[in-house]
Structure 1
Amino acid sequence: MVNRKELHPESSPRAAFGYRVRSLREARGWSQEELAEETEYSGQHISAIETGRKPPTLTFARRLDTVLGTGGGPESFEREFYEMRRGSLLEGFPEYVDREGRATEIRVFEVGIIPGLLQTPEYAQVLANSAVRRGAITPKQAEERVALVADRQKALVRPRPPMVFVIMDESCIRRPIGGPAVMDGQLARLIEFAELPNTQLQVAPYEIGERRTFDRAVNLLMLPDRSVVCYAESHAQGHLDRETTSVQPMLTAYHQLQAESLSQAATVAMISKLRKGTP
């Protein structure tokens, strides 16, 4: 008989996730290879997940829910995935990301850094490494943060992608992160984003002054049922709001900010000048 590694689900959230995958797989009488075929992953991947050697991704968790019939409830693997990340993510953000992956329209405003949906892997890694040096998160949480950025960006290339509206304060593109090479790659990524058929990119320039309607990052989602949710955060906490009476004014303020911001053409021109070293 092939050696069977004993699992200890109490040792870590990752181990608990792997233990549950193995338990449900064996309850169906499936081998690792059979589960791999159903989920369209490799047998080696299933083994690494079950033994805790590899962290699950959001995509894999959702695939498990589809194959094993665990989706849509408190026992879903997707929910467990988000629970694993609560140590490195602000309250409310996991729930926001869940809805972001299903949204028909996404509206983002950001101050100081490039929004996660538009970050290059290098830019995201620099931010995560910085948080580790400050002692805000662990190296493992930094790894998970960068992986989550990549998972979120898959929403932009799904078969029926959402419309994505992004407004960045001018500080986002002028604040140097990670050195010239990282910033140049990031600015190039912004220009590529602006060229997509389902996107709109704008910079809110410094000169609009008090006409900037937000003082902090704001995310607004329109869901398939036409409802709108808002997620906003401070340094210490995040808040997901579903109440129409409070979300609607945020949507109005976003539209007002769009009117004050540079056009997409002027935004791309500003970014191109920065890449050339022109103020």
Structure 2
Amino acid sequence: MDAALGSDGLFSRLVGLVLRSQLPTWFQPYAEMESKAAYISTYQAQLVYGLLQTEEYARAVLATGSPDDLEGLVAARMERQRILERLQPPLVWIVLDEAVLHRPIGGAGVMRRQLERLLEFNRNRWMRIQVLPYSAGEHRGLAGAFNVLRFPDHPDIFYTEDMMSGHMTADPETIREASLHYAHLQAAALSVSDSAALIARVMEERYEDRSQRDTVA
């Protein structure tokens, strides 16, 4: 419709707004700020970060909440990821606990494709994925996942979630403490190249492509 009517992307933007409205009410303010961030740093202890999830992985995660409109939530999560397709996407730095790689969300096939996607993302110059290995022992992220968003013209934002809702603040002291925690997590994590090697190894050893194996057999 945009192409036919020459509306300069108006309908595409409207579709995006409609899809984002499918997100939980408490999450919408964060999603709006996330879409404007110039830099995103996140530590994830349980799951792949939402911006990096494949559609089938996202569907398996979202289905655990028994939502009334699962497909609407999946579409909204995929819409969030469009910020990664911009000409100037945000810089994204991710630290994943090694447990994320081993938790078989959706089954072996879903996980294999999800880990393949992480390896694809890791080749982008604006994204870096590090894995915090089990061998790190106790660490600064034991309290759970969190995100820090930075903007060219807005105070930094710290975001975390509990079981029922999300919590967002621009308090400078909180931002300083979160940034220190994140620096410690990055220091304890594997390098980007070693992380990619671990992701590839887990993908091959835990989530073997049985279709290829059966073809060879």
Which bracket does the TM-score occupy, shorter chain normalised? Answer: 0.7 to 0.9
What is the TM-score with the length of structure 2 in the denominator? 0.85
- Given candidates 110, 121, 130, the residue that maps to 2:64 is 130
Given that 1:201 and 1:264 are in contact with CA atoms closer than 8 Å, whether structure 2 keeps it comes out as yes
Q: Give the CA deviation at 1:215.
A: 2.0
**Alignment partner, residue 205 of structure 1:** 133
Q: Give the CA deviation at 1:243.
A: 1.3
2:25 and 2:19 mapped to 1: Cα distance?
Answer: 15
**Alignment partner, residue 243 of structure 1:** 171
Question: What is the percent sequence identity of the aligned residues?
Answer: 30
The letter of the residue matching 2:165 is Q
Unaligned runs of 5+ in 1: 1-31, 47-56, 63-77
2:15 and 2:88 mapped to 1: Cα distance?
Answer: 21
For the residue of structure 1 that corresponds to 2:137, the secondary structure is helix
- Given candidates 87, 95, 105, the residue that maps to 1:167 is 95
Distance 1:157 1:81, change over 3 A: closer
What is the TM-score with the length of structure 1 in the denominator? 0.67
Q: Give the CA deviation at 1:36.
A: 5.5
Distance 1:213 1:113, change over 3 A: closer
Give CA deviations for 1:11-35 in whole Å, capped at 9, x if unaligned. xxxxxxxxxxxxxxxxxxxxx9999
**Alignment partner, residue 38 of structure 1:** 7
Q: Give the CA deviation at 1:254.
A: 0.6
* Bigger CA radius of gyration: 1
**Alignment partner, residue 185 of structure 2:** 257
**Alignment partner, residue 107 of structure 1:** 41
Distance 1:219 1:33, change over 3 A: closer
**Alignment partner, residue 51 of structure 1:** none
> How large is the RMSD of aligned CA atoms in angstroms?
2.6
Q: How many residues align?
A: 207
Q: Give the CA deviation at 1:212.
A: 3.4
- Pick 1 or 2: higher relative contact order, CA cutoff 8 A, min separation 6: 2
Q: Which runs of 4+ in 1 moved over 3 A?
A: 32-37
For the residue of structure 1 that corresponds to 2:205, the secondary structure is coil
**Alignment partner, residue 182 of structure 1:** 110
2:72 and 2:9 mapped to 1: Cα distance?
Answer: 22
Unaligned runs of 5+ in 2: 208-217
1:230 and 1:104 mapped to 2: Cα distance?
Answer: 14
1:278 and 1:150 mapped to 2: Cα distance?
Answer: 26
Q: Give the CA deviation at 1:262.
A: 0.8
For the residue of structure 2 that corresponds to 1:152, the secondary structure is helix
